[in-house]
Amino acid sequence: MRNKKWMFMSLVVFVAGFPSSAQAIPPPDFIFNLGSQIPQFLGFCLLFILSSVGMVRTFFKTRWEKVKQKKWLWAVLVIVGVCFCLALSYVVSIIYYDMQLKKWKNDGRKIEVKSSPPATPGARAVP
C-alpha cells in the first residue's frame, strides 16, 4: 500500500515538476479520417433517430386497439390542431406585418431627416 502511494506521488512530481511542451502536427491520416468522421457522426444521429421512431411505433402499435375505438376523437383532435395552426399563423403574420411597418416608418423618418436642407437664417421653407 505504501509502495503504491510512493509510486503515485513520484508520478505526480515527475509530471508536474518537469513539464515539457509537445510540438506536434496532426498526421495526414487524421486529416483524411476527419472526412470519414462526418458520415460516421451522421450515421450515429440517424441510428438514434430511427431507434426513437421505432420505439414510438412499437408503443403505438401495441396501443392501437384502444385508439382504434375512438376514431371520432382523433378526427376532432386533428381539426382542432389544424384550426390552432391556422390561428397561430394569422397572429404571427399580423405581428410580423406590424414590425415591418414600424421599421419602414422609422427608415422613412431617417431618410427625411437626412434629406432635409440645413436651416439658414432668413431662408424660406420650400413646401
Contact 40, 46 (CB under 8 A): no
What is the reported pTM?
Answer: 0.34
Torsion angle in degrees (nearest 10) through CA of 25, 26, 29, 31 = -120
Cβ neighbours for 74, distance < 8 A, ≥ 6 positions apart = 67
pLDDT digits (tens, 9 = 90+) for 90-105: 999 999 898 888 888 8
Where do the structural domains in the chain lie, given as residue ranges? Answer: 32-69, 71-113
**At which residue does the C-alpha cell 411505433 appear?**
57
Give the pLDDT of residue 121.
60
pLDDT digits (tens, 9 = 90+) for 28-83: 666 667 677 777 888 888 899 899 888 888 888 887 777 677 778 878 888 999 99
Q: Determine phi and psi for 118, rounding to 5 degrees.
A: -65, 145
Give the pLDDT of residue 115.
52
